[in-house]
Structure 1
Amino acid sequence: MPATFSYANILHAIGQLLDQLGVKSFAIREEEDGLFVEGFNSDGQLQVQMRYDVASLYELLKQQEEPTEAEQSTAEGADLLRRFLADHDRSLVGSIR
């Protein structure tokens, strides 16, 4: 079954990339074979230009779906803590200040 992606998924992936680059404003233009993205700094000067054809959009979206090492490590740690608490009939209680 071929993978399908929504506009929301595509824009989310591009938005995360622009956030990582520190872009303050952006423009996205649809082209015949993909998207053309421009990012600008706080002074309105061009900071980055990216052209995504269908194949590179697919790769970007697949990368966004894969958990990073930090996310995977955090998830594994949380699972380990849940198992420990369950094995010892305990529960996690938050502190109140």
Structure 2
Amino acid sequence: MAMYINSKYETVFDRVSDLAAKGLFAVYMLGIAWAVITNTPADLAVMLPVLLLACFLGAIAWLLVGFIPTFIVGVLVGGLSAATIFIKDKIKSRTANGTALKF
């Protein structure tokens, strides 16, 4: 039995890994904002320039080294979802052919 990739699984992998990367970036930026806001007794209006600077520097740091966790999370989450869809399709095709395992 040969493994194959068709465009369905590739599309699932691309979309899910893209969504996971965007979610990881959003959590990272929320973490920066939370760390800046909670550790300061000043009002938000006073802290807004500091918050913008921290988010800007955080985005620069993400662009420099963020590809490593993004790649790992994208491969893990995208690969797991594509594999799940592949297994589901294999089970469906086996049960449709009547060759499924019977217990």
For normalisation by structure 1, the TM-score amounts to 0.36
Higher helix fraction: Structure 1 or Structure 2?
2
- Which fold has the larger relative contact order, with Cα–Cα distance below 8 Å and residues 6 or more apart in sequence? 2
For normalisation by structure 2, the TM-score amounts to 0.34
